[in-house]
Amino acid sequence: MSKRRGTRPELRLRLGVAAFLWMLGLGAWAQFFTEPAQETARPTVERLEHEFYFTRGIYTSGDRDEWVPRWAVDYPKADQQFLVALRRLTAVDAFDSEHALALYGDELGDFPFVYALEVGSLNLDEQQALALRRYLLSGGFLVIDDFWGSWDWEHFKAQMLRVFPEHEIVEVPLEHPVFHAFYDIADILQVPNVRQADGGPTHELDGIVPHVRGIFDDKGRLMVLINWNTDLGDAWEWADLPQYPLRYSTYAYEMGINFVIYAMTH
């Protein structure tokens, strides 16, 4: 796998995202206001025919009256569009559609990468926490996205303490390989939700400063990557909008591709 390092291929990524996502996303504003996300996962694949599946974690939240389940925010469009970019811009043999599994299910063990978002409402019981722990200690890689502010942070932190009471959550330095697996990331950017992307404040609640934090195993392997006070998934989902700022979509796609390459090589 060739790495895009030294001279950052931002123009290539911008042109690619602008071209193929525009074709995919005609009428996206109307869809945004009228069509809810999928409430249940599509049927899982029967055979493993590709080297990578973008697996989204399904979980139970504490919000019983929610219109869209928290795990399904941006689903499946964000996943699908990210996969178009991944397949076009890298040599990864990726399954070309969405793939959602229980965040603590036995089937997850076949897939080394899982993405979960809106985790300020994640609730793990003892058995679920143990299952997620086994998955991560066995080589799994969990990417967290799109949760904001101090309340969400404290709730998520408490859930992770159920999974790893012995491991701290720490800031991931920009020198870490995850930021240089395919693209070189120089700064942490706050990616706003689509409603706030056209100017003004980019944060939600009291989540003013974006962070990338992580949980490492005893050998120093990054098991959980936590994108807090930012919304990469919205940038994947709405990059096809002409008015969506390219600086956000470019950053989000570069970060996501780095996460995948890191998961596959570590």
Among 111, 110, 119, CA closest to 230: 119
Is 120 within 8 Å of 97 (Cβ atoms)? no
User: Residue 218 is part of a domain; what is its CATH number?
Assistant: 3.40.50.12140
Within a 13 Å sphere around the CA of 183, how many CA atoms are in the beta-carbon half? Answer: 23
Which pLDDT score is estimated for 4?
58
Domain hosting 17: range is 10-265
Average pLDDT score over residue span 76-97:
97
* pLDDT over 90 at 92, yes or no: yes
Residue-wise burial string across 235-247, b where 16 or more C-beta atoms lie within 10 A, e elsewhere: bbbbbbbeebbee
Q: Is 1 inside a domain boundary?
A: no
Residue 8 CA to residue 135 CA, distance in Å, equals 34
* 185-227 tens-digit pLDDT: 999 999 998 877 677 788 888 889 999 999 999 999 999 999 9
For the chain, the domain total comes to: 1
Tell me what the pLDDT averaged over the chain comes to. Answer: 86
* 129-179 tens-digit pLDDT: 999 999 999 999 999 999 999 999 999 999 999 999 999 999 999 999 999
Q: Which residue has the tokens 């399954």?
A: 95
Q: Is 190 inside a domain boundary?
A: yes
Q: Is 244 inside a domain boundary?
A: yes
Q: Is 138 inside a domain boundary?
A: yes
* pLDDT over 90 at 46, yes or no: no
Would you say the pTM of this structure is higher than 0.95? Answer: no
Which pLDDT score is estimated for 36?
38
Q: Is 79 inside a domain boundary?
A: yes
